[in-house]
Structure 1
Amino acid sequence: MNRRKFIKRTFFGLTGVGLVTGLYAWQIEPFWLEFVKVKMPIKNLPDDLVGKTLMQISDIHVGKKFDHQFIIKSFNKAKAFNPDFVVYTGDYVSTHKGKVLYHVLDEVFGHLVKGKIATLGILGNHDYGIKWAEADVADHIVSKLSNNGVKVLRNETTAISGLHFIGFDDYWGLNFNPQKAMQHFDPTKATIVLCHNPDVCDVDIWGQYNSWILSGHTHGGQVKPPFLPPLILPVKNRKYSAGQFSLSNDRTLYINRALGHLWQVRLNVRPEITLFELQKG
């Protein structure tokens, strides 16, 4: 083979690979849902909660960026697991031309996955509208969640069947007050923190907290080239991409890769719903 033919064949070969990869990242992986199962040992967990399941759903981003029917279908698949607890860790919407599509959100919320014992949620930055500065958008979303059976924690603590949940309002939003959220933390009680943005794990507000923190926000970067870290992560701490991390003072962080998308493209970062099995710590 002469040099010209080699270059020509190589060019068309690489172009073909690029087209196939682009099609996969646009039309296949964004809708290839993965249910990730994780063991969750919790200190002081009541005996009757051992073996119970907690499902985490994060970042559904209802808007115009992709077909919201994918979220509804995913919810219906998730219901088959019949979880005991369900937690939603923020970013229910993406604005479209400066507006939240509340009518679409109502349709999606009509299919929410509910826990047999409890269903809880927190807010993310997108739930505060444009530039994360619209309190009325956040209040409206909280109202719709509450009307659909989700107890929203805004710098609050709630105890359910001996398991304590602490919910932070969003780090970038208008109502971030982790000190208020943590004021009733008791290290002798089984506790889980819900915190949309994992960068909060590096803020000096944790005291003696030594249990699990469930986050979202990153989408795992959505695009992760082979052998490279994700190219775009909306966090200061670049190690906070996705999955489980051991932190100081025996804290454990888990970052969900998101169910929805900011843009309809994913590569090596499938959409995720996480199913935790509660165990004695």
Structure 2
Amino acid sequence: MSNARNHVTPRSFTRRKFLALAATAGVAAIAIDSALLEPNRPRVVRRDVPLRRWPEPLDGFKIAVLSDFHYDHRFSVHPIHAAVKMVNELNPDLIALAGDFVSIPIFDDDQRRAALAAEPCARLLHQMQAPHGSWAVMGNHDYYTNPAHVTAALQAEGIRVLANESVPIETNSVRFWLAGVNDVTGGSADLGKTLHGTPADEVTVLLAHEPDFVDEASRFPVDLQLSGHSHGGQVRIPFIGPLYLPPLARKYPWGMYRVGALSLYTNPGLGTVGPPFRWNCPPEITLLTLRHAPASS
């Protein structure tokens, strides 16, 4: 009789048990995806960006945008490795790196050790090639770790860091200006200084780590801003959105925006901060193709 009571029949496998099993399997699948699969599989997002002031001879100029690397040898090294190969296959004209090459230490105060991650990160990023080079700005994690050390590591590998300055990018006998501001949270971003000497009638593309800086940039003759910082939220719940967005990335957290006459693209980054998870928010390489837009468009 005891054996009969314990015998499992199809009827005893109730709907409630089935749902519990399915829920457990679903949670396990999400955990595996968010920890092992999605963070290591960058995707390429291609966007055309029409700009009214963009020179017609430069129509089709391509910029690869990457951000928020947060290099460490256990986790983020894998998507960075993958991204290097993918970027080179895209053949961009210029590479824009929107900050956060290292991470502020969470559990200790060893900023010196954290800054040392800049060297292996820079060596990897050096492998990406573009005719007009790779250009970078500092992010908040770089600033609060050791910006001088991070800058030196990047520049030793041929990656130019823009610190409140602008440079002309010339091709096909015409030019535009590439500008970069210091990290906004550090309080030293100075767009007036950055654009000093930049002709107001020529196109300016701005690198600024924090996307919400666009509200300030829209007061200046800037045509396009490229940013990161948000991680896209890192974990995005369907119908709810990101679990967390950092300050200065809450208005414009991911993708393309128009703010006045200025276009903004916020890249959701390659690496992670805190738990090394991404879910419904894959690491991204953005390939922007800049287009000359007629004045009537």
TM over 0.5: yes
Structure 1 pair 37–148 and aligned structure 2 pair: CA distance change class (3 A): same
2:245 is the counterpart of 1:233: yes
Cα root mean square deviation, aligned: 2.3
Between the aligned residues of both structures, percent identity stands at 28
- 1:18 aligns with 27
SS at match of 1:110: helix
Q: How does 1:53-64 map to 2 (within 5 A)?
A: 53-63=62-72
Looking at structure 2, the residues matched to 82 and 210 of structure 1 have their Cα atoms a distance apart, in angstroms, of 25
Structure 1 pair 2–235 and aligned structure 2 pair: CA distance change class (3 A): farther
SS at match of 1:199: helix
Q: Pick one of 210, 228, 243 that aligns with 1:216.
A: 228
SS at match of 2:124: coil
SS at match of 2:236: coil
Instruction: Give how far 1:52 is off.
Output: 2.2
- Structure 1 contact 43–189 (Cα < 8 Å) conserved: no
Instruction: Give how far 1:174 is off.
Output: 5.0
Structure index of larger Rg: 2
- Identify unmatched segments of 5+ residues in structure 2: 1-9
- Structure 1 contact 169–176 (Cα < 8 Å) conserved: yes
SS at match of 1:193: strand
Q: Pick one of 114, 135, 150 that aligns with 1:120.
A: 135
Looking at structure 2, the residues matched to 261 and 270 of structure 1 have their Cα atoms a distance apart, in angstroms, of 11
Looking at structure 1, the residues matched to 169 and 213 of structure 2 have their Cα atoms a distance apart, in angstroms, of 24
Instruction: Give the AA of the match of 2:60.
Output: G
- 1:191 aligns with 204
- 2:96 aligns with 87
Instruction: Give how far 1:94 is off.
Output: 1.1
Q: How does 1:84-163 map to 2 (within 5 A)?
A: 84-96=93-105, 97=108, 98-99=110-111, 100-101=113-114, 104-112=117-125, 113-128=128-143, 132=144, 137-161=146-170, 162-163=175-176
- Structure 2 contact 38–278 (Cα < 8 Å) conserved: yes
- 1:280 aligns with 292
Looking at structure 2, the residues matched to 40 and 95 of structure 1 have their Cα atoms a distance apart, in angstroms, of 33
Instruction: Give how far 1:229 is off.
Output: 1.7
Instruction: Give the AA of the match of 1:186.
Output: P
Deviates more, 1:262-271 or 1:100-109: 100-109
- Structure 1 contact 155–166 (Cα < 8 Å) conserved: yes
Structure 1 pair 115–270 and aligned structure 2 pair: CA distance change class (3 A): same
TM-score normalised by structure 2 residue count: 0.84
Instruction: Give how far 1:4 is off.
Output: 9.6
- 1:44 aligns with 53
SS at match of 2:14: helix
- 2:262 aligns with 251
